[in-house]
Chain A
Amino acid sequence: MNLRINGEDREVANNLSLKELVTQLDLPPERIAIELNQNVVRRADWPSTGLKENDQVEIVHFVGGGEPVSSRQ
């Protein structure tokens, strides 16, 4: 199925959970946060949150800075 992750279209296996997506993307699970269709999903709920076709996923972490850039525009 197709997901839109951080603004990019990605093909992933069907019936994936959010937790499995994080593992597949090889992301360090600490100190990241995830929005599914514009709502934050708590870390504890990642394993039980199923993904479906055309879901919008935003995965963020922390970087140096404070000055605005337009990466989220």
Chain B
Amino acid sequence: MSTAVLAKADRLIIGDRTFVSRLIIGTGKYRSYDEMKAAHRASGAEMVTVAVRRVPLDRSAESFLDHLDPAMQLLPNTAGCYTAEEAIRTARLAREALQTDLIKLEVIGDQTTLFPDNEQTLEAAAVLAKEGFTVLPYFTDDLIMAKKLLDVGCPAVMPLAAPIGSGLGIQNPANLRIMREQLPEATIIVDAGVGTASDAAIAMELGADAVLMNTAIAEAQDAAKMAQAMKLAIEAGRLAYLAGRMSKRLYASASSPHTGVAR
């Protein structure tokens, strides 16, 4: 099956939006705008996440958004928020500025690990979903938490694979598999922890619907090349998941017929 055929048949669905690309990318840590733009182009991503910050008052603030492809869907995030209240306020500001209901909800619990505060995240998700936001929550890779987030109205959930920016890869594949099996209808987006292309492929093979990443691309020696590698890995991993892998067995199983061998 070619990529074009796959794209037609198989879309990422988030609320009432559909995407061909299953890679969502970030905008932080790039060494230059040119490098970021090249990586974004190479990634084929259709959605990009941006952070909300105070405008500097003493110098002219050029608009960061001008450096992004206007065709890409902006996904504002609440990074930097440590309480539900802060995240809710940030989401409302983002909606007003961008006129979008999409919000990547992050409520961090601890500065060293950047692990999410799941309680605060759930509280904020419930409020924002009621206000009509399309809430994409970052949370610990836990099935019960995923269920609660879906129950309060999140159209998708974003479990971490490893600490943000760590590049450690999928630390708990069993949790992702369980989440996929128990929530077959849910949109599951792996957020945080991917380090290289094989990590992204594994996430997709485990049944993730998409992967969001920033550091793995931005901190690669050649960001654009890594972006392309991620694009291909995600396509390959998705195809492998849809294809259904063979069963593992302990012993060899010959591919060629046993009979008729010339002796």
* Cβ of B55 under 8 Å from chain A: yes
How far is it, in angstroms, between the C-alpha of A71 and the C-alpha of B51 when the chains are bound? Answer: 11
Q: Type the 1/0 row for B29-70, where 1 means its CB is closer than 8 Å to any CB of A.
A: 110000010000000000001111111010011011100000
Q: A6 to B57, Cβ gap below 8 A? A: yes
Contact A61/B96 with A7-B54, A67-B164 known, Cβ cut-off 8 Å: no
Contacts of A30 in B (CB 8 A): 63
Q: B55 to A68, Cβ gap below 8 A? A: no
How far is it, in angstroms, between the C-alpha of A49 and the C-alpha of B76 when the chains are bound? Answer: 26
Contact A63/B86 with A28-B63, A69-B80 known, Cβ cut-off 8 Å: no
How far is it, in angstroms, between the C-alpha of A37 and the C-alpha of B79 when the chains are bound? Answer: 21
Contacts of B64 in A (CB 8 A): 61-64
Q: B97 to A33, Cβ gap below 8 A? A: yes
Q: Type the 1/0 row for B154-165, where 1 means its CB is closer than 8 Å to any CB of A.
A: 000000000011
Could you say which of A10, A59, A63 contacts B51, with CB atoms under 8 Å apart?
Answer: A63
Contact A31/B97 with A60-B54, A62-B50, A66-B26 known, Cβ cut-off 8 Å: yes
Number of A-B contacts (CB under 8 A): 130
Give the interface residue-count category, chain B. Answer: 35 or more
**Closest CB of chain A to B57's CB: distance in Å?**
6
Give the interface residue-count category, chain A. Answer: 35 or more
Q: B98 to A31, Cβ gap below 8 A? A: yes
**Closest CB of chain B to A7's CB: distance in Å?**
7
Residue ID in chain B nearest A22 by CB atoms: B55
Contacts of B168 in A (CB 8 A): none
* Cβ of B93 under 8 Å from chain A: yes
Q: B80 to A70, Cβ gap below 8 A? A: yes
* Cβ of A8 under 8 Å from chain B: yes
Q: B61 to A64, Cβ gap below 8 A? A: no
Q: A67 to B114, Cβ gap below 8 A? A: yes
Q: B89 to A38, Cβ gap below 8 A? A: yes
How far is it, in angstroms, between the C-alpha of A27 and the C-alpha of B77 when the chains are bound? Answer: 22
How far is it, in angstroms, between the C-alpha of A6 and the C-alpha of B29 when the chains are bound? Answer: 24
Q: Which of A8, A69, A70 has the most CB of B within 10 A?
A: A69
How far is it, in angstroms, between the C-alpha of A36 and the C-alpha of B240 when the chains are bound? Answer: 51
How far is it, in angstroms, between the C-alpha of A40 and the C-alpha of B111 when the chains are bound? Answer: 28
Q: B57 to A25, Cβ gap below 8 A? A: yes
Q: Type the 1/0 row for B219-239, where 1 means its CB is closer than 8 Å to any CB of A.
A: 000000000000000000000
Residue ID in chain A nearest B165 by CB atoms: A67
Contact A66/B97 with A32-B55, A58-B54, A61-B55 known, Cβ cut-off 8 Å: no
How far is it, in angstroms, between the C-alpha of A15 and the C-alpha of B51 when the chains are bound? Answer: 32
Interface residues of A (CB under 8 A from B): 5-8, 10, 25-28, 30-35, 38, 40, 42-43, 58-73
Give 8 CB contacts A-B under 8 Å.
A6-B55, A62-B50, A62-B97, A63-B64, A65-B50, A65-B214, A68-B79, A72-B86
